[in-house]
Amino acid sequence: MAAIEEQIRVLICQGTGGLASGAKEVELAFRAEFEKHGVDAKVGKRCTVVGTGCRGLCANDVLVDIVIPGQEAVTYDFVKAELVPQLVEEHILTGQVVEKKKAGPYYQKFLEKQMRVVFSRCGTIDAESLEDFLAHDGFVGIRKAVTMKPQEVIEEVKKSGLRGRGGGGFPTGVKWSFCAASPGTDKYLICNADEGDPGAFMDRSILEGDPYGLIEGMMIASYAIGAKNGYVYVRAEYPLAIKRLQKAIDVCYEKGFLGKNCLGLGFDFDLRIKAGAGAFVCGEETALMASIEGERGMPRPRPPFPAVRGLWTKPTNINNVETFANVSYIFYRGAEWFASIGTEGTKGTKIFALTGKIKHTGLVEVPAGITMREVIYDVCGGILNNRKFKAVQAGGPSGGCLPGEAIDAQVDYDSLIKAGAMMGSGGLVVMDETTCMVDIARFFLNFTRMESCGKCVPCRIGLKIMLDILERITEGKGHPGDIDLLQDMCFDIKKASLCGLGQTAPNPVLSTIRYFRHEYEAHIEHQRCPSNSCKSLLKFEVVEAACKKCGLCFKVCPVDAVRWEKGQLAVIDKDKCTRCTSCYDACRFMAIE
């Protein structure tokens, strides 16, 4: 087979997003065109089609790269099967790039400030091919690790400064040393791929795009700790991730890379997948282990910590997918190299999942310490419809909302905590001036309340009462004293809850009160939503002074409740209006009240 660098390669994104947008049809179309034209013979090179993992810009799928040896790769976006004959005839056969269909300059900008380390193989290699993995540094890390003593491997991870990417940010090497030091020979290693944060899909992308990379990280950990058995706990809603990982595990067993005497390197490691039912609380370590043991996924008090008494009562080490994926790179390139990236307290890169009112939603991997402004404006193109940036919710449902002034905050563990949010697993929800902060607090609290396992009364009942209060406020039925009551309840629930879910669930309420107290007051004292967003408080009237007479509201109204003519003010007929908010969302000038 021709070496990769001598082939023409067509890289087609086949992550979940790519497949949902028709990547399989695009692949079949390329194969059919290659056959029809006898492309290999005509260009004198082998043309291969490669199904890759996610590139992070799923909204622009299907993304296709055409890579001709000696030339710069060209990326096409929104590719459909119908475009493929033109791409083959013009780009591959005659060398003429189809300029009109190329991804715009935004794509280059999207990549410019990123540093794709964990993602370096996602979107580049055939996610299902062991050969491709091996051709891209695969298993170099584990081969290096076994030349060291297990204790030295742990020291190397400590030296790198790697901190857990699952939310807590605990130093990985230190965590490994606890489990390694626990007495006993039956130890377990668990990869937490539960990924419950709404909007986050970085772990899924790693599993889909580089499953062998995760296996390698886990092998290094198993060697360091002396754990002979491992589980990857993946939520069942990730069928493609499970399929690709299972295939990779099967291939590793066939080749003798897993099981007894892994890769012939003198250590044993068995690895299997446990599919979880997708309850958010099962991401908590003790609940996760209960779930693997076949019990209801409910947390238990700690201590004893998993490193002492974990799965099946044995010492257990649990790390997140992104954490394990980082480990291989620490051994490919050295702890010093890893520690040279990022800030004093946060080394390496971090993957963020950006959602909300932003131009390019998706996954980005950046060096820790770059600013929120760079991530939002430089990488992701800024705020949708060029509206004003208002706030960002960092750290998932239990993180905090930071105000506009935080735009220059660095994204690292310490800076985010100082600003009143947290890194969490890397979810960033971006909000513009049309977002009501009381409603956002309500939204996140609704999520955590639904996901509470119900074991502790403060979490089970307290969150429900807080939610009722927030709902009342967004309907203009708030009472004087509600804000103080909410704050008191937040502190009590945080203090009295058993697990991280209850201990952090009040954070969105606390942070929105801290930074946006005036919005709570406007709802309670004046029955007014300053962002004109709470539906019950919207009047559905056009503000004359703000209306630019563009007619956008007229075009989107599904029930013809808007009267408008070119150059005229829009008028809403309240009898016809169903309060669907389409006009409000569409208006770029905040002219609907």
Q: How far is the CB of 573 from ligand SF4 (least distance, A)?
A: 8
Give the residue with the Cβ less far from ligand FES, 55 or 350: 55
If the CB atoms of residues 26 and 224 are measured against ligand FMN, the closer one turns out to be 224
Contact call for residues 310 and 202 (beta carbons, < 8 A): no
Window 311 to 330, contacts with ligand FMN (CB under 6 A) = 318-320, 323
| Residue 519 contact partner, candidates ligand SF4, ligand FES, ligand FMN, none, CB within 5 to 8 A by sort of partner | none
Binding partner of 55, given ligand FMN, ligand FES, ligand SF4, none, CB within 5-8 angstroms per partner class: ligand FES
From the list 115-123, 162-170, 261-269, 480-488, the region that binds ligand FMN by CB under 6 A is 162-170
Binding to ligand SF4 by CB under 6 A, coded x per residue (else -) over 511-550, reads: -----------------------------x----------
* Helices 202-209, 321-333: crossing angle, 10 deg rounding: 60
Q: According to the binding rule CB under 6 A, does residue 490 interact with ligand SF4?
A: no
Residues at the site binding ligand FES, with contacts judged by CB under 6 A = 13, 15-18, 54-58, 61, 63
Q: Which residue is it, tokens 């584990």?
A: 142
- The answer to whether 281 contacts ligand FMN (rule: CB under 6 A) is yes
Under a CB-based contact definition with an 8 Å cutoff, are residues 322 and 391 in contact?
A: no
- Exposure of 32 in the CB half-sphere (CA atoms within 13 A): 12
From the list ligand FMN, ligand SF4, ligand FES, none, partner contacted by residue 285 (C-beta under 5 to 8 A by kind)? ligand FMN
| Rounded CA separation 356/383 (Å) | 9
Sign of CA dihedral 38, 40, 44, 50: positive
* Dist. CA 549–CA 566, nearest whole Å: 7
Q: Which helix (H) or strand (E) holds 144?
A: helix 140-145
CB atoms within 10 A of CB 457: 12
Using CA atoms, how far apart are residues 84 and 546, in angstroms rounded to an integer? 46
Query: What is the CB-side half-sphere exposure of residue 177 using CA atoms within 13 A?
Result: 14
422 HSE (CA, 13 A, CB side): 16
Q: How far is the CB of 456 from ligand SF4 (least distance, A)?
A: 3
Site for ligand SF4 in 262-291 (CB under 6 A): 281
- 325, 562, 587, 591: residue in contact with ligand SF4 (rule CB under 6 A): 562
**498 interacts with, out of ligand SF4, ligand FES, ligand FMN, none, CB within 5 to 8 A per kind:** ligand SF4
- State both tokens at 172: 């990985």
Residue placing its CB nearer to ligand SF4 in the complex, 377 or 589: 589
Q: Would you say 316 and 190 are in contact if contact means Cβ atoms under 8 Å apart?
A: yes
Query: Which pair of tokens denotes residue 93?
Result: 């056969």
CB 198 within 8 A of CB 427: yes
User: Does the protein bind ligand SF4 through residue 577 (CB under 6 A)?
Assistant: yes
Nearer of residues 273 and 592 to ligand SF4, judged by Cβ: 592
Residues numbered 488 to 527 that lie near ligand FMN (CB under 6 A) are 499-501
The single residue among 326, 353, 582, 591 that binds ligand SF4, judged by CB under 6 A, is 582
Type and span of the H or E element at 193: strand 188-193
Strand 316-320 and strand 362-367: the pairing is: unpaired
SS3 for 369? coil
Shorter beta-carbon distance to ligand SF4: residue 157 or 583:
583
- 16 vs 182 by CB, closer to ligand FES: 16
Q: Which C-beta is closer to ligand FMN: that of 335 or that of 501?
A: 501
Geometric angle at alpha carbon 369, from 363 and 371, rounded to 5° = 70
Using CB under 6 A as the binding rule, whether residue 412 contacts ligand FMN is answered as no
* 222 in Cβ contact with 189 (< 8 Å): yes
CA atoms within 13 A on the CB side of 369: 13
Residue 166: is it exposed, middle or buried by C-beta count within 10 angstroms (0-12/13-18/19+)? Answer: buried
Q: Which is nearer to ligand SF4, 26 or 557 (CB)?
A: 557
Tally of CB atoms within 10 A around 108: 10
Among 96, 151, 536, 578, binds ligand SF4 (CB under 6 A): 578
46's contact among ligand SF4, ligand FMN, ligand FES, none, with CB below 5 to 8 A by partner kind, is none
Residue 28 binds: one of ligand FES, ligand SF4, ligand FMN, none (C-beta under 5 to 8 A by kind): none
Which of ligand FMN, ligand SF4, ligand FES, none does 144 bind, CB closer than 5 to 8 A by kind? Answer: none
**Other C-beta atoms lying within 10 Å of the C-beta of residue 582:** 18
Contact with ligand SF4 (CB under 6 A) among 122, 453, 490, 591: 453
Residues that bind ligand SF4 (CB under 6 A): 281, 299, 452-456, 459-460, 497-499, 501-502, 540, 556-557, 559, 561-562, 572, 577-583
